[in-house]
Amino acid sequence: MESAEKEEISVEDEAVDKSIFKDCSKIAFYRRQKQLLSKKSTYQALLDSVTIGKDSARFQIINEPAKVPLLAEVCGIEGNIFRLKINEEIPLKPRYEVPDVLTSKLTTVRLTSCPGDTGSLVLASGKGDLKCHIMANPFKVDLVSEEEVVMSINSLGQLYFEQLQIPPKQRTTKKNEEDASTDTTQENQEELGLWEEKFENFVDVKVNGPASIGLDFSLHGFEHLYGIPQHAESHQLKNTSDGDAYRLYNLDVYGYKIHDKMGIYGSVPYLLAHKLGRTLGIFWLNASETLVEIKTEPAVKYTLTQMGPVAAKQKVGSRTDVHWMSESGIIDVFLLTGPTPSDVFKQYSYLTGTQAMPPLFSLGYHQCRWNYEDEQDVKAVDAGFDEHNIPYDVMWLDIEHTEGKRYFTWDKKRFPNPKRMQDLLRSKKRKLVVISDPHIKIDPNYSVYAKAKEQGFFVRNHEGGDFEGVCWPGLSSYLDFTNPKVREWYSSLFTFSVYQGSTDILYIWNDMNEPSVFKGPEQTMQKNAIHHGNWEHRELHNIYGFYQQMATTEGLIQRSKGKERPFVLTRSFFAGSQKYGAVWTGDNTAEWSYLKISIPMLLTLSVTGISFCGADVGGFIGDPEAELLVRWYQAGAYQPFFRGHATMKTKRREPWLFGEEHTRLIREAVRERYTLLPYWYSLFYSAHVASQPVMRPLWVEFPNELETFSVEDEYMLGSALLVHPVTEPKATVVDVFLPGSSEIWYDSKTFAHWKGACTVKIPVTLDSIPVFQRGGSVVPVKTTIGRSTGCMTDSPYGLRVALSTKLC
How confident is the model over 575-587, as pLDDT tens digits?
Answer: 999 999 999 999 9
Q: What is the pLDDT of residue 425?
A: 98
Amino acid in position 305: T
E strands in 542-650: 568-570, 582-584, 613-614, 642-644
Q: What is the pLDDT of residue 9?
A: 42
Q: What is the pLDDT of residue 744?
A: 97
Torsion sign over Cα 774, 776, 781, 783:
positive
DSSP calls for 473-539:
TEEEEEB-TTSHHHHHHHHHTTSTTTSTT--TTEEEEE-STTTB-TTSGGGB--TT-EEGGGEEHHH
Catalytic residue among 480, 514, 616, 714: 514
What tens digit of pLDDT does each residue of 358-391 get? 999 999 999 999 999 999 999 999 999 999 999 9
Does residue 712 have an active-site annotation? no
Catalytic residue among 88, 289, 293, 587: 587
Closest to 161 measured CA to CA, from 42, 289, 284, 51: 42
Is 151 strand, coil or helix? strand
DSSP calls for 184-243:
S-HHHHHHHTSSEEEETTEEEE-TT----EEEEEEEET--EEEE----SS-SBPPP--TT
Domains of the chain listed by start with CATH number: 25-163+209-352 (2.60.40.1760), 700-801 (2.60.40.1180)
Q: What is the pLDDT of residue 805?
A: 83
Checking if the pLDDT of 300 tops 80, the result is no
What tens digit of pLDDT does each residue of 432-477 get? 999 999 999 999 999 999 999 999 999 999 999 999 999 999 999 9
Q: What is the pLDDT of residue 232?
A: 98
Amino acid in position 520: G
Checking if the pLDDT of 782 tops 50, the result is yes
What tens digit of pLDDT does each residue of 523-536 get? 999 999 999 999 99
What tens digit of pLDDT does each residue of 478-517 get? 999 999 999 999 999 999 999 999 999 999 999 999 999 9
Checking if the pLDDT of 309 tops 70, the result is no
Amino acid in position 639: Q
What tens digit of pLDDT does each residue of 4-61 get? 343 344 444 456 687 899 999 999 999 999 998 876 668 999 999 999 998 899 999 9
- Could you tell me if 195 and 207 are in contact, meaning their C-beta atoms sit under 8 angstroms apart? no
Q: What is the pLDDT of residue 37?
A: 82
* Contacts of 615 by beta carbon, 8 Å cutoff, 6+ apart: 584, 585, 588, 594, 595, 598, 601, 602, 636, 639
Chain centre to alpha carbon of residue 237: 15
Q: What is the mean pLDDT of residues 177-205?
A: 73
Bond before 655 cis per omega within 30 degrees: no
Percentages (nearest 5) of helix, strand, coil residues in the chain: 25, 30, 45
Query: Please, which pLDDT band fits residue 115 given cuts at 50, 70 and 90?
Result: confident
Does residue 178 have an active-site annotation? no
Catalytic residue among 179, 197, 375, 511: 511
Q: What is the mean pLDDT of residues 276-288?
A: 98
Compute, in degrees rounded to 10, the torsion defined by CA atoms 472, 478, 481, 483.
-170
Checking if the pLDDT of 306 tops 70, the result is no
DSSP calls for 31-65:
HHHHHHHTT---EEEEEEEEEE-SS-EEEEEEETT
Q: Considering only the C-alpha atoms of the chain, give the largest distance between any 2 of them, rounded to a whole number of Å.
A: 85
Checking if the pLDDT of 539 tops 90, the result is yes
Checking if the pLDDT of 186 tops 60, the result is no
Q: What is the pLDDT of residue 248?
A: 98
117 vs 571: which has the higher pLDDT: 571
Does residue 504 have an active-site annotation? no
Give the C-alpha separation, 409 to 415, whole Å. 10
Share of the chain above pLDDT 70, in %: 93
Q: What is the mean pLDDT of residues 765-789?
A: 98
What tens digit of pLDDT does each residue of 636-663 get? 999 999 999 999 999 999 999 999 999 9
Give the C-alpha separation, 795 to 783, whole Å. 7
Neighbours of 466 (CB within 10 A): 18
Give the C-alpha separation, 595 to 591, whole Å. 7
- Could you tell me if 245 and 271 are in contact, meaning their C-beta atoms sit under 8 angstroms apart? no
Average pLDDT, the chain: 93
Give the C-alpha separation, 358 to 355, whole Å. 8
